[in-house]
Each structure stands twice: as C-alpha cells, then as structure tokens.
Structure 1
Amino acid sequence: MKKLLNYTLIGILAFIPIVVIVQIVLFVKDMLTDLFRFVYGYSDNYFVTFLLFAASFAVITYVGHRVSQGRFSIIAAFENLIERIPLLSTVYRVTKKLVNMIAGHELHEPREVVYLEYPKEGIWVPAYVTNKLENQYVLFVPTSPNPTSGFAVIVHESKVIKSEMSIEQVTSFIISVGADFEKVNEINKLPH
C-alpha cells in the first residue's frame, strides 16, 4: 500500500510541469481569442481583422526598435506627462526600473546575484542585487516557487557572498524549488 501511494504521488508530481504549461497556453489562447473578438467586433471581415493585427504588430515592433535606440519622442512625452502625476509617477518609475532590471536594459550596472544568510546563521538564500549604495547592498530575496514574490532588504556588503549564477539561472532555481541548480560547485564556497 505504501509503494502504491508513493508511485501515485510521484505520478502526480510528474504531471505538475505539464499542467502548468497547459494552463499558460490556455491563458494566452484565451487572451488572444478575447482580443480577436474585440477587434473582429469592429469589422465582420476576417481580412480586415488580420490587417488590424498585422498593423498592430508592425507598430509595436517599430516602437520597440525606436525605444531600444533611445529615439522615440512619443514615449518620452508620455513619461514626461506621467512624471507630473504624483501617484502614477511613482508606480510608473518603479515598474519601469523592475522591467529594465529583469530585461537587462540597465547596462551601466550589471545585474548580480548574491547569497544572503537568511533566515538564520548557516542557511543561505540567493538574492538579486537591485541597487548598491557605497558599501550597502539593496537586495530582493525571491521566494519559491514564484520569483516575483519576496522581500527587499538592505545589508552590508560583508554579509553577502557573490554568486556566479545569472538572473536566469537563479530564477530557474527559485521556480524549480532548487531542483534546477546549475552552480552546484558554489555550495562548497558557502560557510557552514
């Protein structure tokens, strides 16, 4: 009976990644279907709907190209307008910084990953370095399995150990709850 339950649990765990991927695909499909219905509502012609989608794709791609080169005045004007609205300016600025940090657009400061001794001595967690102020690190400590949830801390540089993991590797480590750990050799560098 114990082996049967064990095999059942292993089978359930084997299906979890598949179910997650299926849920993501269904979510994206539902979003695209809703968008298609919204656009199709303006014109009952599939050709016109396709043209609207193609034009939208072209405009978004063009804006992305211009923004990546730093030459798009409409976005700059929008940002200038948003900066004048107290609550929206804070939300916009923080959101933009987070997106830039995760996407790697903050080229003047490389993104780093460090280990932080938390919640007690001898236990180490990976953290994203979000800012440095002299000898102080501002860290975001993500929680498994969702790397977007967690908490921010400020610690002295002597309290962290630098990691060779990239942002993508540590994110994979967090999402997989430690199962995907590419830098196993780093474990020996951590104090016990």
Structure 2
Amino acid sequence: MAKQDGGGEAQQRRGPFSSFHLTLGARLKAYLLTGILVTAPISITLYLAWLVIDWVDGLVNNLLPAQYHPDQYLPFTLPGLGLLIMLAFLILVGMGSAGFVGALLVRLGEGVVGRMPVMRGIYSATKQIFETVLTQQSDAFREVVLVEYPRKDAWCIAFVTGATKGQLRQSLLGAGYDDWVNVFVPTTPNPTSGYLIFVPRSDVRPLSMSVEDGLKAVVSGGIVMPSDDVPPAADTKSSSA
C-alpha cells in the first residue's frame, strides 16, 4: 500500500498534464522527422545543382575576356549564365561538325591527336566511352542483373555493359560457354567505382527494375529498394495455393 501511495503522490506531483506533455513531445518529434524527410532531399538536390552551375559559371568566366563579363555591365551576377553559354557552345559545335567542313576539321584534329603516343590512347578510350554511353542504340547500363559475386551464394546488383567480344571472348570460349557478357559491379555508396567481370550469360539473373532503381539501391546500401511489382491479387492466389 505504501508503494501504491507513493506512486499516487508521484502522479500528483507530475500533474494531470503529464500525458499531454508526452503526447506533445512525441508529436513534435514526428513533425521534426517529417520536416527533415521533406526538406533534406530537395535541399541536397538544389545544393548539388548549385555547385554544378557555380563550377560551370566559374569555368566560363575564366575563359571569357574581362570586358565580356556580365558583372561589368550589371550591378548583380547572373547565376546560370555560364551554363547557358556552355550549352549554346556545344550546340554550335554539334551543328558545325555535322557539315562537310566541320567533319573534315574533326578528322584532321583526330589525325593530329592520333600521332601523339600518349594522347591518342586517352582520346581513343574517352571517345569510345562517350559514344557507347550517349548513343541511343547502345545497351550500356540499360540492363540490371544479379550476379554471383564475390563468392558462391552471395549475389549483388550489377549492370550489363555489353557483350564480350574479340580476344577476350576467344580466350573464354574454352570454359564451355559461348555467350559471355561484360558486367560492371558497382561499389556502395559510390557507384562510379567498381569491378569489371566477364560472366556467362546463363549465370546472370535479369531484373525488371530500371537502371535508376538499381543505382538507388546501390547508393543507399539497400535502404531504398524498388517496390514489389507483383500485384496483390497474384500474392493472394499464391498464398492461398
């Protein structure tokens, strides 16, 4: 009875609004977390976009003569102007290289670079990468698969970058498989680094998720995963069976 009386006295000391304070604190905590979830992604996205725009603006301003800087004529800066100038320049270069004279100049430039021992290797590899990634007919990074790596019964998300060809395919034909694919296994949380492995086509498991969803899963370390594509009706039938 003494313990119960002590508990009652403690309840009286806390007052009748103690439960209200607890509820208010829980609500404020929930509101705080919701605010973070709402503002953090958009804030980080805008911050990264601002960094890119600021970097391009600084690069263009360094290339432009001082008398052509907008700051010389306006009392304020124009963020994003350098990015617009860069896009306009690239469009003009693309239009010029599509013509006969532009294509001839490009070939002459490639011929000069091709005679440089070190530069020709860097230029050739860089050009091939951009052509493979940017061309609309390319299948690079358009197929998400599961591959058994780095050991048996351990699977990871990977991206098929193309079919294995040339000397590599000839060297791998002795393993008993005819169809080999190049697979890029990204690292978490930085998907720009990873490992290039050559796997038989029959040993990869294709996934229906998009490349964007696959990259989200890799970057988040598995926290953000694509939703299940199986409809609820199919799940109910399978469970009842």
Q: Give the TM-score band, short-chain normalised.
A: 0.5 to 0.7
What code does the residue aligned with 2:49 have? V
Q: Which shows bigger deviation, 118-127 or 148-157? A: 118-127
| Cross-structure match for 2:55 | 31
| Cross-structure match for 1:144 | 188
Distance in 2, Cα, partners of 1:58 & 1:90: 29
Query: What SS does the aligned partner of 2:118 have?
Result: helix
Query: What SS does the aligned partner of 1:164 have?
Result: coil
**Runs of 5+ in structure 1 lacking a partner?**
187-192
| Cross-structure match for 1:100 | 131
What code does the residue aligned with 2:88 have? A
Q: Which shows bigger deviation, 158-167 or 71-80? A: 71-80
User: How far is 1:66 from its partner?
Assistant: 6.1
Where in structure 2 are the equivalents of 1:25-174 lying within 5 Å?
25-35=49-59, 37-38=61-62, 39=64, 41-43=66-68, 45-46=72-73, 57-65=87-95, 72-73=102-103, 74-103=105-134, 105=135, 107=137, 109=139, 111-133=142-164, 134-174=178-218
Query: What SS does the aligned partner of 1:129 have?
Result: strand
Distance in 2, Cα, partners of 1:61 & 1:55: 10
The 4+ residue runs of structure 1 with deviation greater than 6 A are none
User: How far is 1:151 from its partner?
Assistant: 1.0
Percentage of matched positions with identical amino acids: 27
Distance in 2, Cα, partners of 1:109 & 1:26: 31
Distance in 1, Cα, partners of 2:157 & 2:95: 34
Query: What SS does the aligned partner of 1:122 have?
Result: coil
What code does the residue aligned with 2:54 have? D
Distance in 2, Cα, partners of 1:81 & 1:98: 20
Q: 1:79 to 1:172 in 2, by over 3 A?
A: farther
What code does the residue aligned with 1:59 have? F
Greater Cα radius of gyration, structure 1 or 2 = 2
**Runs of 5+ in structure 2 lacking a partner?**
1-25, 165-177, 231-241
How many residues are matched? 177
Task: Indicate if the aligned counterparts of 1:165 and 1:183 stay in contact, CA closer than 8 A.
Answer: no
Distance in 1, Cα, partners of 2:126 & 2:145: 23
Q: 1:62 to 1:84 in 2, by over 3 A?
A: same
Q: 1:83 to 1:183 in 2, by over 3 A?
A: farther
Distance in 2, Cα, partners of 1:144 & 1:126: 11
CA RMSD of aligned residues (A): 4.0
Distance in 2, Cα, partners of 1:70 & 1:115: 44
Structure with greater proportional strand content: 1
Q: 1:84 to 1:170 in 2, by over 3 A?
A: farther
Distance in 1, Cα, partners of 2:132 & 2:47: 27
Q: TM-score, normalised by structure 2?
A: 0.55
Query: What SS does the aligned partner of 2:120 have?
Result: helix
What code does the residue aligned with 1:64 have? G
User: How far is 1:42 from its partner?
Assistant: 4.3
